[in-house]
Amino acid sequence: LKRSFYRRPLPAPCVAFSSERGKVLFRESLLAGDAESYYALAEQFRTQEEPAFCGLSSLTMTLNALGCDPGRIWKGPWRWVHETMLDCCQDLEKVKKEGVTLPQLACLARCNGTQTVVKYAADGFDVDELRRDVIASCRSADQVLIASYSRRELGQTGDGHFSPIAAYHKPSDSVLIMDVARFKYPPHWVTVDALYAAMLRVDAVTGRSRGLMLVRKADDAAGRTVLFVVARTQWSKLRSHLERSVKSVIDACLCDHSASADDSKQQLEDGVAQCLLTNPDCVLSTFTREFGLAVSDMPAEHIDLVRQLLNELHASEAHKFFAKSLSSSENDVDEEEKKKKKKQKPSVKVADGLVITEADVRAMMLLAAPDWVFDSLPANLRSVSRIRQVDPQSTVLAAEVKTLRAQLTDMTAVAATASAAASKKKNPAKPASSSSCKC
């Protein structure tokens, strides 16, 4: 026990929520209507389960407070958000050691049915804008502000930390931080100026200042996919996998000196489309496969949406291309090879009469791939994007593509940031923290 701690004394000028001064601030905040977000957050207030889970716990509180249905089982028959379910943008074992960065947490928020805005304190975001964002969030039950800040600036031990803001007190210009590390510090009040100064501190992992996230529940048509999800096991390899796939196709086409210029152009366009991913299943999966859901777990109205999605996908130019090219390639192999291929990439049954095929996954991958994949091609070869267009009347498909593309764009950006941070650690110009969260 000599090397253990039971909480830490809250340093001045922080004001404990349960202190006499803290009670006065809270009562006045309630009467002024500046603590509307407190109620839902208080219902979901939790203590982070791991020393570096401040980001995940803050987001778990927020998602449950906003009523975001995760669309998957937590325990028993219950759908509920728990820290251990927030694993689409970062491996949980790695989070236990290092925590998450602000862009990683935003990625997680968007993957879980929210519309999230990220602001960095040093990027033209001043203290007055922070105050406006705090007031707007605290007066609303539909938006939560999660602060990313350095404890050191507040005189606390540790460094990088995340916690939601639940109330604002105008006379003292203070905010109530619902500190998720309750084993260390209680909820407490700090001034907006002090919080902004704590946000200005640079996160050594990202090389950027800290800041905030404004999180709202997404509309029913946005933020939540109907069928396809990003495979959780491969997210960190997305960018390099996409880059390698496109480069290999370009190299193969450019090495075919027997083809005419027009043939090479067409070959390259078709090759990029067909071989966008050597194995698209490692990037895109389905709810039924990824979370082990049975057909009986899906309500009838959801199965109807899946059916509409697949009908719209099958009518798309992307699906027609893959259905034709895969059919042609199958005709070129013998029966033994066909059996082997079928065994390697089996179709996935979602419900009676609904089967996900390789063409479905490839088409959706092409439609949902981040724009930068195609921007990296020479300008005269970008016409491959013609088969990425979605009919505006295909509303379910359009929503699915929009959500997946945003998630893949987020994840590849996060992966690139993580890769750059790893390179920086190998050759640091100055000592840097090995963790983004030091609660």
**Which among 428, 404, 314, 356 is positioned nearest to 88, based on CA atoms?**
404
* DSSP secondary structure code for residue 78 in this structure: B
Cα distance between residue 332 and residue 57, in whole Å: 53
pLDDT at 225: 83
Q: Which of these is catalytic: 133, 159, 161, 188?
A: 161
pLDDT at 371: 80
pLDDT at 183: 96
Residuewise pLDDT in 10s, the chain (439 residues): 888 999 999 999 999 999 999 999 999 999 999 999 999 999 999 999 999 999 999 999 999 999 998 888 899 989 999 999 998 777 888 899 999 999 999 989 988 889 999 999 999 899 999 999 999 999 999 999 999 999 999 999 999 999 999 999 999 999 999 999 999 999 999 999 999 999 999 999 989 999 999 999 987 655 678 888 877 655 556 666 666 665 555 555 555 545 555 555 555 555 555 445 455 555 677 777 776 666 667 778 888 898 999 999 999 988 987 787 666 555 544 555 555 444 445 466 666 678 888 888 888 888 888 887 777 666 655 666 677 889 999 999 999 998 888 888 887 777 666 555 555 555 544 344 446 777 7
Q: Is 161 part of the annotated catalytic residue set?
A: yes
Cα distance between residue 288 and residue 349, in whole Å: 8
pTM: 0.79
pLDDT at 158: 95
Q: Which of these is catalytic: 87, 133, 159, 179?
A: 179
User: Tokens representing 423?
Assistant: 């390179």
Place of tokens 């987001």: 59
pLDDT at 137: 98
Q: Is 302 part of the annotated catalytic residue set?
A: no
Query: Is residue 94 exposed (0-12), middle (13-18) or buried (19+ Cβ within 10 Å)?
Result: middle
pLDDT at 429: 43
pLDDT at 372: 76
Q: b/e for 180-218, b at 16 or more Cβ within 10 A?
A: bbeebbbbbbbbbebbbbbbbbbbbbbebbbbbbbbbbb
Q: Is 54 part of the annotated catalytic residue set?
A: yes
pLDDT at 89: 74
Are the CB atoms for 188 and 89 separated by under 8 Å? Answer: no
Q: Which of these is catalytic: 14, 54, 138, 437?
A: 54
| Mean pLDDT over the full length of the chain | 81
